[in-house]
Amino acid sequence: MNKVIITGADGFIGSYTVKYFLEQGNTVLAIDIREIPHRLDSHKNMTYMQCDISDTTAMLEKIPHGTYDVFIHFAWAGSAGTAREDYNFQMKNALNTVECLKVAKELGCMRFVGAGSIMEYEMEAAIHAQGSRPGMGYIYGMGKHIAHCMCKSIAVNIGIDLLWPMITNAYGVGELSPRFVNTTLRKIINGELLQFTAATQNYDFVYVTDVAKAFYMVSEKGKPFCEYMIGSGNARPLKEFIFEMQHSCAPNVDPVFGDIPFTGTNMHLNTFDITSISQDCGFKPEISFAEGTQRTMEWLKTT
């Protein structure tokens, strides 16, 4: 693998993935909707292209055919905050993913690598449980799952290899979303009370540089039409992650558990298993949660 296309290239995970591919000596076409990238620096082996990925005609006109080997698709609007509840956003994202798959085939790419989510499994568990009343936050996972299902059938039909890495919970320096790690670290920085649910539900977190490395390894060595969980390899109850973060970032603060009701779905630890990506691709996470949250907190203090 020498030449790759990466959409959502100036996003949080996308930018780290672009940098990792460049460090391995690859040529990257970085596509993002921004006119000028905010996270990416210029590089001799990177071409930056502003493009709305919903405009597939423009992509096919601008991108040289028969040049790139792999198409990696991160571009996904509304991946955090209240936009995760917007079904119009999420359905459009799923359809855009399918269209990008077809573009990849027309451009001559041999592989299409999606960006799945652990929320696909969580959503299925919540939806199929008898009497369940899933909240609106599950709509994001529904969009990812719809994209996954449609891409798999269409990839078979048009003749392109599909690989579907599934991210557990990525975090790290550069992320500004109101997700769990950032929200908790900002409370620590601001001296606020750390209140949580009972935090007995199983969870996993993976630092963004490990995510980028995982996408590289899956793109290079992953088996066609397989999904690969990207995680720390040490999934456990959320409370244990909270204690690890607290010991690393706020040793004098005692978290309070049980004050907030838990309305989500508790998944079996096997759901987070990374054996497949380890065996097939050689992936081994490097950054512990303690180290990753400490790095992230120091960065958040400067923002």
Mean pLDDT of 63-71: 97
Residue 67's Cβ-count burial label (10 Å; 0-12, 13-18, 19+) is middle
pLDDT tens for residues 12-24? Answer: 999 999 999 999 9
Q: 75 pLDDT exceeds 80?
A: yes
The residue-averaged pLDDT of 157-161 equals 98
Residue 1 has pLDDT above 80, yes or no: no
Higher-pLDDT residue of 261, 104 = 104
Helix (H, G, I), strand (E, B) or coil at 234: coil
| pLDDT attached to residue 262 | 81
State the pLDDT at residue 185.
Answer: 97
Assign domain 174-205+232-303 to a CATH class: alpha beta
In the structure encoding, which two tokens stand for residue 299, read together?
């960065």
Q: What class, spelled out in words, does domain 1-167 have in CATH?
A: alpha beta
Q: Are 234 and 19 in contact (CB under 8 A)?
A: no
Task: List all residues 6 or more positions away from 243 whose beta carbon is below 8 Å from its beta carbon.
Answer: 255
**What would the DSSP string read from start to end of 94-111?**
HHHHHHHHHHHHHHT-SE
How confident is residue 259, by pLDDT bands cut at 50, 70 and 90? Answer: confident
Angle at 247 between CA 244 and CA 249, to 5 degrees: 100
Residue 260: the pLDDT is 81
Instruction: Calculate mean pLDDT across residues 156-168.
Output: 98
The tokens for 143 are: 């969009």
Model pLDDT for residues 189-221, shown as the tens digit of each residue: 999 999 999 999 999 999 999 999 999 999 999
pLDDT tens profile 225-246 = 999 999 999 999 999 999 999 9
Q: How confident is the model at residue 2 (pLDDT cuts 50, 70, 90)?
A: confident
If pLDDT is split at 50, 70 and 90, which confidence band does 181 have? very high
Q: Judge whether 242 and 198 are in contact, CB under 8 Å.
A: no
- How is residue 127 written in tokens? 């939806």
Helix, strand, or coil (residue 163)? strand
Q: Looking at residue 138, what DSSP letter applies? A: G
pLDDT of 132 > 90? The answer is no
- Quote the pLDDT of residue 81: 81
Which tokens is 26 given?
């690859």
Please choose, from the candidates 116, 112, 115, the residue with its C-alpha nearest in 3D space to the C-alpha of residue 162. 112
**pLDDT band at 266, cuts 50/70/90?**
confident
pLDDT above 90 as % of the chain: 88
Mean pLDDT over the full length of the chain: 95
Name the nearest CA neighbour of 183 among 293, 262, 106, 282: 293
Residue 74, φ and ψ in degrees, nearest 5: -105, -25
User: Please, how many CA atoms are within 13 Å of residue 134, restricted to the half-sphere of its CB?
Assistant: 20
Q: Tell which wins on pLDDT, 266 or 67.
A: 67
Instruction: Enumerate residues 6+ apart whose C-beta is below 8 A from 296.
Output: 171, 172, 173, 175, 181, 182, 185
Return the domain boundaries, the chain: 1-167, 174-205+232-303
Phi, psi of 302 (to 5 degrees): -95, -5
Q: Which residue has 């960006």 as its token pair? A: 115
